[in-house]
A and B are shown apart, each in its own frame.
Chain A
């Protein structure tokens, strides 16, 4: 434990309103602390530069998974275990279940939260590609009120996001979709469990008679933040699924992603695997027809 603990504050506000008042009253002074699975690792390593945190772990307003006819809405404090246990999740949002199941081990899944994962903004996070493929929207709340943003517009750079210092991620909502259509998720990590991804790919597609009516492609670990490969989608949308369109899509993907060399993997490997997974996804789609 490398940090000088006495210098750190972790205070527990009474409720969400009190939390937002603190954030508004001292902008930039306080950061939210949810399950701690990212922040505590930094603390241990002596690398947690921010010192004042608000404990939001128990805030009732941020808990729970609700549904209505249009959306399934998850509170920001939904853990991966909560995701896996919600009865309809596997049927309606299987990619999110896959992501939750492949995040760390059971202990991490019990404490890691969706809101924390999004706000931590690791380029290698496992759930964001699924959320992006599902057109997730985030509710950001502050003392001034709530606003909804499409998750695909949330990140703008490495650890840069559309979240003001007085705002909290409150809820994540997923539009309910017509059933049918192809869904694909693959996380390629350093080992079969407890791994940070080298490439993470999520895709959904709506195919009619070999024509790609609609398609969503999202990736992590190949750019500064998890993103929707919009250009690659554009190359495919409206096309007939086949060798030619797959190849064109792979080429576009190579231009659209920016994989790096790091201690886990290489840029060449990430590029190649991203292209392979795209091909596998599209081949899966055409196989179903």
Chain B
């Protein structure tokens, strides 16, 4: 007679086999059997959050900074509904999460029982797949399949809903090796012909550009190395989306900076004027393309993506290569080398004109701002933070808004998996819990959440989690007392009617930090900034850094609504000439 295990035990056996070391969660009635089993599994550490949304974002931060799937454990009803924002966020940004939720016992499903909700129904549109386990015999298979689905192809969140009686029920456990291999969708579909075609296009191009995205980061650290090699080999300029930052060194000369709505002048103009656009692991998001009809009108377009449904979804491309970024770049470089085509040399003359044009755009210095010695400019604060932390391996998370864009513009990333931000969904409150997850996955590393004072208040409670587990995250708040991005749009589009974008009654963040049991630091003028940032870095405890910045500062450059890439707003001086028209306003 083989040994029988309870559902709760099987959950942990599966987690152990999947090499899970951390789970983020919050207990409740319908998951108590699983929590009861926790003590018997010392290799799995549970991080108790203060709200289930925090568990989800922490798991996202964990996943993005480590490359491993993040695991979340929540109870039924409100536990599950609270995690929905994080699941949607992970779905939009392709982050592998496995969420385990408790459910009321099978015989009570559908009776409106206490803390019952249709979890699989609610999470169906925001997960890659979800399962309601109705039979204990299915539990093991589903758990392993959940990890497979979350981590293969284009990664994303999955959810396994386990009724309480299933957690108590008993069955056999078969170790994974004996299980027949679970079929994987999304195999590599590209072939050598595609690569040859790509190289032919590269050969012909005189104004080429690489446009890289989060797919490079998701493909693993190897992809970033290969990308660097390919870019060096070709001599082409490269720009990156918000999610792709770090896959190519931010301070390299071939890097044009981020593109898109708040991208650099040179990156956006190069996208507009290029004759060959090579998209590697990005998805032509609407914050990138601007006006679709006028998006990169003169270029041949190549799209490399693991997800076939990303191709031709928004922008029709001339060559689609479906496959893992690592494999595609590897084949491309190999073929380039084999054919002994040194694009940099053979194309040098053609491309050198292109580079001259790019250098001309660069002279605009579109990220410049007018600094002040009386008041801290938010861009200056990010620059100082960068300068003072760049010599150590620093991980940056952000909330959502102006501070997020300033961080993306002024913090230069040199490695992948160092930059965690909510891009697709734009979830305010993402950064603090994400920083917790990052710190859990990367103990001893410096983790900074570049935050806004409005965003941070959405998930402030999680600072308590950081203190409980001695996670010395740094919350660097660019405090302008406004929902800055909302205020900026109201200024530009709604005649400065700052409707509900000012926070009248902000807490004293220093006292708040002390109340939670961590350290609060305030900086109010530029002279003290460096010294205080250094103080923050030196403290081996969570710190809330309240950086008072210019309230009126706007985030530039910017592609205004309804304009193509080559019509950017370039900061205060440029604004008068480029008023946004009435129609564009309505459609923002």
Same complex: no
